[in-house]
Copies of this chain bind each other. A is one copy, B any other.
Amino acid sequence: MELSDISTEEKIKNAARIVFHKKGFAASRTRDIAEEAGINLALLNYYFRSKEKLFNMVMLETLQKFFTLISSVFNDLNTSLDEKLEKFAFNYIDLLLEEPEIPMFIMSEIRNNPKVLMQKFSMNTAVFNSVFFRQYTEAVQSGRIKDQNFLHLMLNLIGMSAFPFIASPLIKEISGTNEEDYFNLLEERKWLIPEWIKSIIIK
């Protein structure tokens, strides 16, 4: 019983993640999720109490994954500023190649739920109190890099990595690029983005 319990519950959660990530909360039907999971509709409310509770669980795990990655790179005491740029682009794009819907999912859902879910994370610590931030500030003060708002760096680093996934359907359509070529382009960016960022911030 133990095993099958976990199994069914996991099946639902996995299906919910797939459907919610792809279509967002409002466009996702509980029947879609039940079908995707291959289970009876009522089981969804048996294991989780409502569509909303199930969604919150998926959202929480997704944000967790995102911020765990950020924090582990940005708060590593053993890497330099440059190494952090390299590691972030590489690990983040790698993650998104496995789950390309994550950026769109997070951004589009947060525009509806303002800040409810966010506050459970110590995101400020992960980013703005990070070792990365300290190293950046020091590099500015020592005159090695330009004195630009740290937010610009974050927007450029995260944006350069995530935007190609967010805009993927549009870009593929207008450029006529196929799946494989687009994948190769993203692989290239793992190496190019750190170089680009460096050439942007260096004096």
A174 at the binding interface (Cβ < 8 Å): yes
Q: Mark A21-42, 1 if CB is under 8 A from B, else 0.
A: 0111111000000000000000
Number of copies of this kind of chain in the complex: 2
Q: Mark A102-136, 1 if CB is under 8 A from B, else 0.
A: 00101110111011001000011011100000000
Number of interface residues of A (CB under 8 A): 51
Main secondary structure of the interface of A (DSSP, over half): helix
Beyond known contacts A127-B174, A152-B188, A159-B163: 7 more, CB 8 A cutoff: A104-B111, A107-B169, A123-B173, A151-B175, A163-B163, A196-B200, A199-B200
Question: Which positions in A face B, CB cutoff 8 Å?
Answer: 22-27, 104, 106-108, 110-112, 114-115, 118, 123-124, 126-128, 148-149, 151-152, 154-156, 158-160, 162-164, 166-167, 169-171, 173-177, 185, 188-189, 192, 196, 199-200
